[in-house]
Amino acid sequence: MAERTDSGVSTKAKAVGVSWWAWERPGCWARGRVIAGFAVLTALLIAFPRVLPNRPGHLGSLLEAFLPWLGLAAVPLLALALLRRSATALLSLLLPVAAWAYAFGGLFLAAPEPGERDLVVVQHNVSDVNTDPAGTARTLAEAGPDLIALEELVPAALPAYEKALAPDFPFHEVRGTVGIWSKHPLSGTRVVDIKPKEITEGWSRCLRTVLHTPYGEVAAYVAHLPSIRVGASGFASSWRDESAHLLGRAVAAETVAKVIVLGDLNGTVDDRGLSPLTSQLNASERGFALSFPASFPLARIDQVLARSATVGRMRTLPATGSDHLPVTARVTLS
């Protein structure tokens, strides 16, 4: 039984009353201003990530690489707001929620209906230590694509990919460690030089070819930009950014109107380091398709981008022997 006081009101009832009074008092609006400040800052960074300078350490690119995850900051802020019984902090949390919904809510919307001028494409970094290239090839082919782009192709594994994909994809080209398999004829294949100046050894990680489809010619680029590293000095992306600049320059000079870029770009479409390329192209506005690392995907660094075409919903395919997940999308040629 609840203990009764002289006034006949239980101590439990009084405790409840005190709890409600704590929220009703004017102090609940005065408390939690620091928490509210962090909520406003979180909303600002989600909506306008480029307010964070990229120097030193490419911190802006680091934020943009994992930008959707910044929304999780609202969870501990909510706990602190409740702990402090701060109405101000609770109300301010609507800002990061609204900013996240505006920036990423569209990715949850339904994909457009398939069209007659669609190309289904698959992009995959197959990993140079993949022990099951034949199985990887079968997984990609089962998605029913018109086009497959692969990176980290090594000479020892290449025959397995060629044999497994040949029945469905009679046309293919390989340059260096990147390759493309197609149901439609290819022509004009050449290497695109995206090698950073500081790399002196042999390095061929981008090709360009022309895809002859029933809907016209499409210039297809398959690229693997340099890896990035996160260390004590920050986000090491200088080589990747340099390659993105070179690839962007090649795409800008492309004379074929329709362009598809597929590749492991080692960056998200929000990453300002890729803007020399991504500013010219359309990216998918549907689906997260987080592709790396395969064991616990945190970011989509495997991309399908297009010019004079629309990239539909991106989605991932089942895991292969790679540390990346394959991604696929429908590209509608305008």
Angle between helices 158-165 and 133-141 (to 10 degrees): 30
Q: Inform me whether the pLDDT recorded for 260 exceeds 80.
A: yes
> Do residues 73 and 153 both lie within one domain?
no
> pLDDT tens across 31-63, in order?
889 999 999 999 999 999 999 998 888 899 999
Residue 112: predicted pLDDT: 76
Q: Which of 47, 78, 107 is the last residue of a domain?
A: 107
> Do residues 50 and 170 both lie within one domain?
no
Residue 24: predicted pLDDT: 58
Residue 21 resides in a domain = no
Residue 149 resides in a domain = yes
Residue 18 resides in a domain = no
Q: Inform me whether the pLDDT recorded for 302 exceeds 50.
A: yes
Residue 61: predicted pLDDT: 93
> Do residues 118 and 257 both lie within one domain?
yes
Q: Inform me whether the pLDDT recorded for 75 exceeds 60.
A: yes
Number of structural domains in the chain: 2
* φ, ψ of residue 251 in degrees (nearest 5): -65, -40
Q: Which of 76, 107, 138 is the last residue of a domain?
A: 107
Residue 15 resides in a domain = no
Q: Inform me whether the pLDDT recorded for 11 exceeds 70.
A: no
Residue 23: predicted pLDDT: 52
What is the spatial distance between Cα 125 and Cα 153, in angstroms, rounded to a whole number?
8
> Do residues 49 and 139 both lie within one domain?
no
Residue 15: predicted pLDDT: 47
Owning domain of residue 92:
31-107
The average pLDDT across 119-133 equals 97
> Do residues 287 and 159 both lie within one domain?
yes
What is the spatial distance between Cα 112 and Cα 118, in angstroms, rounded to a whole number?
11
Task: Using pLDDT thresholds of 50, 70 and 90, give the confidence band for residue 111.
Answer: confident
> Do residues 189 and 44 both lie within one domain?
no
Residue 8 resides in a domain = no
